[in-house]
A and B are shown apart, each in its own frame.
Chain A
Amino acid sequence: MVNLTLKFVAFARGSGLRISTSEVLDCLNHLALVDVLDQEQFAMTLRTNFVKTYRDQPAFDRLFRLFFHELRDADTSKHAGTLNGHIEEALAAMQQQMQPGGLPQPIRDFLLDDPLGYLQALQAGRAEQMGPGQALGGNMGGLVNRLAIMLALDNARSAMARYLSENRNSIPWEIREDLNAYFTARLRNARDLLFENQPAVGAGVQTRISQDQRLNQLSGKAFQALTPKEMQELREVIRKLAAKLKDTLNRRNAKRSRGMLDFKKTVRRSAQYYGLPMEVVYKKRIPHKSKLVVLCDVSGSVWSAARFMLNMLYSLQECFTKVRSFIFVSDLTEITAIFERYEADTAMDKVLSEADIDYQAATNYGRMLRLFQDQYLETLNKKTTVIIIGDARSNYQDPEEGILKEIREKSRRLIWLNPETKQFWYSGDSEAATYQPYCHEFRLCQNLDQLHDFIKELVL
């Protein structure tokens, strides 16, 4: 039972269900407490330990049925008992016959009563059908799609028939009958599984596989290469990442602010009451929130990176005391109000249509810095983090790095995010080399992974 359960765990994990080791151990302990011969009790003991949200339940139920029922119908296992040595022998011979490549390992294991590899190959094949992307692992022995699996099964069937007829004289009649029945049943099983009409409940696991893969692809893809549809998907991802960050932050703060008495304050207040500590003051959590000032280059290719950063920052607004945002090409415009009024996605569209800015103008970082210096330099203080996102391409005009130096001195941190590929940073009209020495950090920010890393450091 332990072995079988562990095999199931491997299979379920391979199919996209997340099961932790502690959950496996718990489950094994629990199996000793129930009647494992009772189908429902057994199934429920696995489910209560391995599925922790209703969303995964249909997927689990399907995997469970697949693994424990469709593969283990009574007559196959009955045969297996008396045939032990003969099955291996037959498989070895079939392996020889089926050239080139032989009998694929997953099918061989399947015929020998270990369905794991085969089921994984099926899952991978299904994920494959749902869209492009890597199928699970590379060790499927060439079983990359349904057609290949079907052909392999057919080959196995004829190899088996040939083996039985060639050994008509060396294997006793009853054994041959049983072998035939055994392999026919197993192969039928395999075929049924392959052609099984995908019931809706199976969708959970598969979409999860392809979603995870999808996410990996998307979060590593350069912002400017995203299609509109991918951008839409990425917004959803950002929403989730932001929620997760907030959760982490909250949990951390909760730990920190555990009901400590603020002794000094309590004593000070007690002075009003003849020295009696009538008002008890607790230590507040240390809010290490900072003020953000964000300057976004919205010319051409930089905008796609800037918009995702704005999206993420405003989804995390509560983590900062204030976020002020500006966009520039040659002029500089504050867009804070738009983000405060609308929810991030809507705001983003409004910025493009409503903000007062000339998108056709030639980008001019020096002018932008001068404008900032005139109007906003005063607002910076030692609690402000200034973030500039842009490619630092300023059309060979005065870069005004002196102002950047002033900004650095007046703020807590100055961080520059450059969405341009690193090889190009120091060429042509890029002022990256000029600006870099004045920034506390000057980092690459081309895709969601990099953006997420940056923002994590910023808030946590």
Chain B
Amino acid sequence: MKAMLRPIENNEGTRCCKFEGVADVGAKLQRAGYICSKEIATVVYLAMVTQKPILVEGPAGVGKTELAKAVANSLNRRMIRLQCYEGLDEAKALYEWEYGKQLLYTQIVKDKINEVIKDAATLTEALDRIAGEEDAFFSERFIQPRPLLQALYSEEPVVLLIDEVDKADPEFEAFLLEILSDFQISIPELGTRKAVEIPFVVLTSNNYRDISDALKRRCIHLYIDYPDQDLELKIVQLKYPEISRQLALQVVDAVRHIRKLDIKKKPSISETLDWAHSLVALQVKDLSPETMADTLNMIVKYKADMDLIRRQAGHLLK
């Protein structure tokens, strides 16, 4: 509603940095190349307005990572990505203190230090004077910010993507919770630092491990499932506008059928897109069982899955 009252419409040329409502999220994400359901749009909108992180779950390749990128794109924000893995620690995620640099600087300015304390009467006085210059020794200069700190330090609001958080160790999760709770962090050498702008945070999980309840409570949740027929068709047509509607429909329907089979790895949106791409490249007009058998390796990766689908190819194309 509000969007309609605005005097000037946001068109693609102008910078926009906000979503004006659920419908606006859908429209803007689409312009950024991401087709989303109203459900996704609702959650994204809520996350933006309430500044709460979104925890996205869903099978591989349904566009979890892509969603964060699209949000960044459409809000004209920089995206900062933290890819999680086992053993990821604060030094890799937050900042590293550059002792080497600090030492080097200290060496170089040694003479200067001597000058400062030259006429100090007592040791205490000398120390006091050095302490007076402490800021020079412990300053941001010697900090190498990693993704999380970059996100907090950024003058412009960013989208912070914490990808596959379930791969990180539980210790790291606890630490993440602290940051996401109040968007501030205490650095022993420098004291507490607060976020300049609260970032739009997206966490993704592939359910490799259960996330702690505390972290879940901090986030709002979004489950992205395989898209319905209509949505997937739109995605295919958006990415390959040259594809005929009929072929696109055949592809989408075949993939949807294949997902229902009992196979090891279900084809995701990226596989649908790969398949559509190669069919377009091969100038296929109509998907026959033969073409399907020939191009099957685009959608299934396991031999057992392939055999199962070949046997059913006839049924899948009805």
Contact = CB atoms under 8 A, between A and B. Distances in A.
Interface of A: 20, 22-23, 26, 29-30, 33-35, 38, 40-41, 44-45, 47-49, 51-54, 57, 247, 250-251, 253-255, 258-261, 276-278, 280
Q: Is the contact region of chain A dominated by helix, strand, or loop, or is it mixed?
A: helix
B85 interface: no
A393 to B, nearest CB: 42
Contact of B220 (A38, A40, A48, A251): A48
Interface string B264-285: 0000000000000000000000
Nearest to B57: A54
Contacts of B208: none
B174 A44 contact: no
A189 to B, nearest CB: 28
Nearest to A249: B170
Contacts of B39: 40, 44, 47
B22 A251 contact: no
28 contacts: A20-B217, A22-B217, A23-B217, A26-B52, A26-B220, A30-B50, A33-B46, A33-B49, A34-B22, A34-B45, A35-B21, A44-B38, A45-B42, A47-B39, A47-B221, A52-B213, A52-B217, A53-B211, A54-B207, A250-B174, A251-B173, A254-B171, A254-B172, A258-B90, A259-B90, A261-B188, A277-B99, A277-B103
Contacts of A258: 90, 188
A19 B199 CA distance: 26
A5 to B, nearest CB: 15
Contacts of A51: 221, 223
In the complex, which range does the number of interface residues on chain B fall in? 35 or more
Given A26-B52, A33-B49, A40-B38, A52 B221 contact: yes
B46 A53 contact: no
A252 B55 CA distance: 24
A29 B43 CA distance: 13
B33 interface: no
A52 B39 CA distance: 15
Contacts of A30: 46, 50, 220
A260 B90 CA distance: 12
Given A29-B50, A53-B210, A48 B42 contact: yes
A49 B52 CA distance: 11
Contacts of A259: 90-91, 188
A22 B217 CA distance: 8
B42 A276 contact: no
Nearest to A278: B103
Q: Is the contact region of chain B dominated by helix, strand, or loop, or is it mixed?
A: helix
Contacts, number: 93
B302 interface: no
B22 to A, nearest CB: 6
Contacts of A44: 38-39, 42-43
Contact of B171 (A20, A29, A54, A250): A250
B169 interface: yes
Contacts of B43: 44, 48
A255 to B, nearest CB: 7
Given A33-B45, A47-B221, 16 more contacts: A26-B50, A30-B220, A33-B50, A35-B21, A35-B22, A40-B42, A41-B38, A44-B39, A47-B39, A51-B221, A52-B221, A54-B58, A54-B207, A250-B174, A253-B171, A254-B172
A254 B207 contact: no
A54 B223 contact: yes
B42 A34 contact: yes
B253 to A, nearest CB: 24
B94 to A, nearest CB: 9
Contacts of B113: none
Contacts of B50: 26, 29-30, 33
Contacts of A34: 22, 42, 45-46
